[in-house]
Amino acid sequence: MRIILIGPPGVGKGTQGALLGSRKGVHTLSSGEIFRREIEAQTDLGRLAQRYISHGELVPNGVTIEMMAKRLREPEVRKTGFILDGFPRTVKQADALQEILADLEMPLQRVFSLVAPDELIVGRLSGRMGCTKCGAIYHSINKPPTREGYCDVCNSPIVVRSDDQPETIRERLRVFRENTAPVIEFYAGLGILSKVDATRDAEEVYKDIVSVTS
Ligand code: AMP
């Protein structure tokens, strides 16, 4: 499988990436998740990324492309293929990705644009919580963990992301419209785009994606 999940923050890319990754045995590469791990490990890249992420802005293209290229070249990713979640987010990143994949002889199969109205997205993001270890996603109302504050999957603490605050959410939606909406057009132009109604239950969305890829 070699696909991209694209869409505004909170539309369900992370949830679908995790479902597809675990059920299909494919590596899910989430640029946001990789940045968060770098921040936690206090690396130079993490410190740089933090400055942008905390304001809801995009991390510069150069370091983002380099980081994702490194992951895509790893032998285990080349073996299973990939699900990209959160990358590319600019046309420059999409161009670079085309070159990287041509070089690896791993052409994209399909790009899924997950679509939902802003009100729904803001509601989802406002109660969102994530596991600090395995990245599993919860929601205070729609999907609370069985034991408050702890992950059902690995029992590690779950937290609210610092960029899931109302001000930052609005900025992330603006950044999506300005920088990432053109990326969707880019893939439509290549004839490999599928639009998916992401207002539905995660399992329904999953079925749609799988029916197109298998
Ligand atoms: P996400 O977990 O995908 O919502 O990403 C969280 C934050 O990480 C974003 O708001 C950006 O600041 C940064 N980020 C993630 N992916 C990218 C990317 N492809 N390009 C630039 N910044 C990114």
What pLDDT score does 213 carry? Answer: 83
Average pLDDT for 147-162: 93
The two three-digit tokens of residue 24, written as one number: 């299909």
Pocket of ligand 1 (CB under 6 A): 9, 31-32, 35, 52-53, 56-59, 64, 86-89, 93, 163, 172
For the chain, the distance separating the N- and C-terminal CA atoms, rounded to the nearest angstrom, is: 9
| Test site for ligand 1: of 63, 89, 172, 175, most ligand atoms within 8 A of the Cβ | 89
Query: Is pLDDT of 119 > 90?
Result: no
Is residue 135 very low, low, confident or very high in pLDDT (cuts 50, 70, 90)? confident
pLDDT tier at 162 (50, 70, 90 boundaries)?
confident
Residue nearest to atom 12 of ligand 1 (CA): 53
Interval between CA 56 and ligand 1 midpoint (Å): 8
Catalytic center residues: 13, 89, 128, 161, 172
For the entire predicted model, the pTM comes to 0.90
Residues 195 and 209: their CA atoms lie apart, in Å, by 10
Q: What would you measure as the largest C-alpha separation in the chain, in angstroms?
A: 46
Whole-number Å distance, alpha carbon 132 to ligand 1 midpoint, is 17
Ramachandran bin of 25, using left for φ above 0, alpha for ψ from -120 to 50, beta for the remaining angles: left
Expressed in angstroms and rounded, the spacing between residue 60 Cα and the centre of ligand 1 is 10
- Phi-psi domain of 12 (left: phi exceeds 0; alpha: psi -120 through 50; beta: other): left
Question: What pLDDT, on the 0 to 100 scale, is given for residue 12?
Answer: 92
Q: Whose CA is nearest to atom 19 of ligand 1?
A: 87
pLDDT score for 134 = 85
**How far, in Å, is the centroid of ligand 1 from the Cα of 58?**
6
Q: What is the mean pLDDT of the chain?
A: 94
What is the identity of the amino acid at 39? I
User: Does the pLDDT value for residue 214 go beyond 70?
Assistant: no
Return the domain boundaries, the chain: 2-116+179-213
Task: Tell me the CATH number for domain 2-116+179-213.
Answer: 3.40.50.300
CB atoms within 10 A of CB 10: 25
pLDDT single digits (tens) 168-199: 888 999 999 999 999 999 999 999 999 999 99
